[in-house]
A = this chain, B = another copy of it.
C-alpha cells in the first residue's frame, strides 16, 4: 500500500481531531490541514472509496480499522523521529516537530525499527505524547489541563502541545518538561497566571500556556 503524503496527513489529522474534540467535521479538518473545506470534502470522499474512512455527508468522518492503522504508523514515525532528533541529535524540543512533520513520510520501516532500537523502544516523545507500538497500541493517559487545576493540588506534567514552537520555548524556559512534579501554590483571578512550586522553586506560568499543558494529578493520599 503506497499512500501519498497528503493522505497520510489527512488520516493523522482525523485521528488527532477525533481524540481532541470527539467528532471530525469538514471545517475543522480544513483548518488544521490549512486547506479549504471544499478540498476536504473531495479528499474525504476519496478516502472513503479507499475504505480508510467512513463518511456521511454533513455528518462527519471516522477512521476505519485500516485508516487508523495507517494513522498510527505515521504518528509512530513522527514521535520516534522527534525523540531521536531531540535526544540523540540534540535538536531543541521546539524544533523537532517541524522536522519530523516532513521526515515521517520519508523514512522506511527498517529505519523506523533502527531508530526505535537505538532509543531503547521508548513509549513517549519529547513532549510527552505516547508513541504507538509497532502493533498499533497507544497508551492514552487520561490527563487534565494544567489551566483547570486548583490551588494546593499536586500533579506531574504529562504532555505539552508540540506544534507551537513559541509555546515550547516558553514552557521549556520555565522547566515544565514532561515528568516534572509540582504543586499549584496560587491561581490569579481573571484568567491570570498560575504560580507553581517545583522542588521549592516557584515559577509563574500564564493561563493561556497552561491550557496547552496536560497533567496527571497526584492523589492527596500519596
Contact = CB atoms under 8 A, between A and B. Distances in A.
A120 interface: no
Interface of A: 85, 89-91, 95, 98-99, 102-103, 105-108, 110-111, 114-115, 118
Contact of A91 (B85, B89, B114): B114
As for how many copies of this chain the complex holds, the number is: 2
Contacts of A115: 89
Contacts of A110: 91, 95, 99
A165 B182 CA distance: 53
A89 B84 CA distance: 11
Nearest to A90: B114
B99 A108 contact: yes
B111 A99 contact: yes
Contacts of A102: 106-108
Nearest to A118: B89
Contacts of A107: 99, 102-103
